[in-house]
Amino acid sequence: MAQYVARRLVQLILVLFGVSVVVFLTMHVLPGDVATLLLGDRATTEQLDSLRRQLGLDQPIYTQYFRFLIDALSGDFGMSLRSNRPAVEDVWIAFPVTIQLSLAALFVAVVIGVPCGVLAAVRPLSRFDNIVMTFSLFGVSMPIFWLGLMMILVFGAFLDWLPIGGLMPIGVEPPRVTGMSVVDSIISGDWRFVLLSLRYLILPAFTLGTIPLALITRITRSEMLSMRSHDHVRTARAKGLSESTVILKHVLRNALIPVVTVIGLQLGLLLSGAVLTESIFSLPGLGRLMVNAILTRDYPVVQAAALLTASVFVFVNLFVDLSYAYLDPRIRYR
Amino acid sequence: MSAIEIAPVERPQWSRDAARLLRRPTARIGVAIVAVFLLLTIFASLIAPYSPFDQDFAKALMGPSGDHIFGTDQYGRDVLSRVVFGSRTALLSIFVADGLALVLGCALGLIAGFFGAWLDSAIMRVVDVLLAFPYLLLALIIVAALGPSLFNSMIAIGIVYTPQYARLIRGQVLSVKTTEFVLAAQALGANRMRIILRHILPNSFTPILVMATLQAGTVVVETAGLSFLGMGAQPPSPDWGSVLAEGQSYFLSAWWIATFPGLAIFAVVLGFNLVGDALRDHFDPRRRKE
């Protein structure tokens, strides 16, 4: 196992190096000159040349890259062109919002998806199975930016059950500790804050969680069905064990191994979906920050946000792979 | 008098395959949705009752009615006509983005799988790096570099999905290149190009077809998503994502502007998913048995 972990860590470092090259190069070919962006159109040629020298933009590209890499490793991505704060500070403020949203969506997907998949597989082709499979097919085909608007329309506007955007009502904010509204509300000890923050999280979490929910339901059902025909399950039945014991102890436990991997791998989908969900529900998360930064060509923020998101994604994938290797010995000995 | 024996006319393989594929009701629904989508794109100018660009402020924000089945938007444009013409952008995105991913991915996967050694390692490490980004994030970074436009968003999505094709094809090539017919072709002196194009590629075709069909729907959603964020098609283009984004501002008072393009995206994705699922099940003997 230690050898496997070491090999994966070396691969991770190589991938992160590649990620930094991609982020640097794509930002390097951004349309428009950085010096002109910073100084404005009225700057003289001398002023522009002087700033380019100061920023190291007159250096060869590989020198610029290594400077970028060293600065990035120390958390310095430069100042945001919009907020005039360090870019990394903008990213750290937005990051907890996205993490909270992604975790809430994953919670919705797992808590509903796994039981639905199990129950559907217990009686395949039953009415319940057909309903679950139809909904899961609709779920994977749903554009989430449209689903979000529909949720707002139905639960926010028509039924008036839930708030339609933001993290908390205007003027209400628990003392900031983690930046996650629900966690900060719990820390504050005021249950009104907790209830409010949860109410504001429901619609975005269900919107973002829909596709992972559909995928988790499908994979749980299909793994359960394939596990049911295995020899050890037949043996358990032949021993005279009750159906519930066979399902829970012999089918579900083994079927959950690939399901755990699929759950872990949903994070990429969630981070992608968060960009759209945050835009619809006006959440000040990483996705929305990045879209605004791209539209205003605030490249230090784009670089910081992209590098952070990709790094989180890579680390989570590593964690998922390691947990899979831990659960299934065949992987680590391959 | 001897009877003349007439040999039964054997139906071609593709016809038998199609008949077996269409035996499933879900496949029939999927094919019907995709067919309607294709008809809309081809006959958009005949089906759409108005021009998608014609403004009539006197009729702005009118709800669905006999004159305007899907209502009108804030400029008095007919939403149905915009949705019908938007199907053309969706089809274009499938051709450009899915096509680019397929061609690039196949080329990279074939080279990596066939030549192996350092070329394989180099290509697969690049693929690993591209897979290290969440899809939409990578698409956003590429669009940021190229500049927001419909065509650039399609290129970005094409690049984002290239690694998946590359991995799939590489795996196929690795298994096909050790088969006897490829070894026989090599022994007969066939050159590498001929072996790749005449022997390996046609025998890797089935999974490519399945993936291309499943990705077609995804590509439509992603292109619309980028347009929704203002990174793809720009107004007044009748692209579904950008119509939806325009409708977002009026959503609570004029729900129809954003609802119908969203339904169109949903239907097209559903159609391609159903066809893709049916193709996958059809070509996978294990699933066919299930």
Q: What is the ipTM of this complex?
A: 0.85
**Cβ(B90)–Cβ(B224) under 8 Å?**
yes
CATH number for position B127: 1.10.3720.10
Give residue B22's pLDDT. Answer: 82
In this prediction the pTM is: 0.86
With a cut of 50, which residues of chain B have pLDDT below it?
A: 290
Q: Which of A25, A81, A125, A145 to mutate against chain B (most B CBs within 10 Å)?
A: A145
Q: Is B16 part of a structural domain of the chain?
A: no
Q: Do A141 and B230 touch (CB under 8 A)?
A: no
pLDDT at B77: 94
User: Helix A286-295 to helix A87-122 angle, to the nearest 10 degrees?
Assistant: 130
The identity of residue B105, as a single letter, is G
Give chain B's domain count: 1
In this prediction, what percent of chain A has a pLDDT beyond 70? 96
Question: Using 50, 70 and 90 to split pLDDT, how confident is the model at A324?
Answer: confident
- On whether residue B5 sits in a domain, the answer given is no
Q: Is residue B63 part of a domain?
A: no
**Residues B211, B128 contacting (CB under 8 angstroms):** no
Residues of the domain holding B168: 24-43+70-283
CA atoms within 13 A on the CB side of B254: 24
For Cα atoms B71, B75, B79, give the angle at the middle one, nearest 5 degrees. 30
Q: Average pLDDT in the A158-171 region?
A: 89
CA atoms within 13 A on the CB side of A11: 19
**Which of A26-30, A42-46, A108-112 has the least mean pLDDT?**
A26-30
In a domain, B53, yes or no: no
Per-residue confidence (pLDDT) for residue A194, from 0 to 100 = 92
The reply to whether B230 touches chain A by the CB within 8 Å rule is yes
**Which of A35-44, A66-75, A193-202, A298-307 is the most confident on average?**
A193-202
At which residue do the structure tokens 């002087």 appear? Answer: A50
Give A311's pLDDT tier (boundaries 50, 70, 90): confident
d(CA A316, CA A119): 29
Which chain B residues contact residue A297 at CB under 8 A? Answer: 144
State residue A331's pLDDT score.
60
CA B150, CA B156: separation in Å to the nearest integer? 10
Q: B70 in helix, strand or coil?
A: coil
| Distance from the A151 Cα atom to the nearest Cα atom in chain B, whole angstroms | 11
Q: Do residue B140 and residue A294 have CB atoms under 8 angstroms apart?
A: yes
Q: How many CB atoms lie within 10 A of CB B25?
A: 10
Give the model confidence (pLDDT) of A231-246 as tens digits.
888 888 888 888 888 8
**How far is B145 from chain A, CA to nearest CA, in Å?**
4
pLDDT at B185: 86
Q: Determine the Cα–Cα distance for residues B207 and B284; give it in Å rounded to an integer.
A: 9
A146–B262 CB contact, under 8 Å: yes
Confidence of residue A317 (pLDDT cuts 50, 70, 90): confident
Q: Give how far B50 is from chain A: nearest CA, Å.
A: 25
What interhelical angle do A191-228 and A181-188 show, nearest 10? 130
Please name the residues in contact with B201: beta carbons below 8 A apart, sequence gap of 6 or more. B106, B110
| Integer CA distances (angstroms), A321 to A3, A222, A326, B181, B268, in order | 14, 21, 9, 37, 34
What local confidence, expressed as pLDDT, does residue B282 receive? 80
Query: Cis (ω within 30 of 0) for the bond into A143?
Result: no
Q: Is residue B14 part of a domain?
A: no
Q: What is the pLDDT, as a whole number, of residue A84? A: 84
Query: What pLDDT score was predicted for residue A212?
Result: 92
> CA nearest A271 in B: which residue?
B134
Q: Is residue B56 part of a domain?
A: no
Q: Is B266 on the interface with A (CB under 8 A)?
A: yes
Cα–Cα dist A55/A33, whole Å:
12
In a domain, B36, yes or no: yes
**B156: in domain:** yes
Q: Please report residues of A whose CB lies closer than 8 A to that of B273.
A: 137, 140-141
Distance from CA of A189 to the nearest CA of B (A): 35
CA distance A321 to B282: 31
CB atoms B137 and A272 under 8 Å:
yes
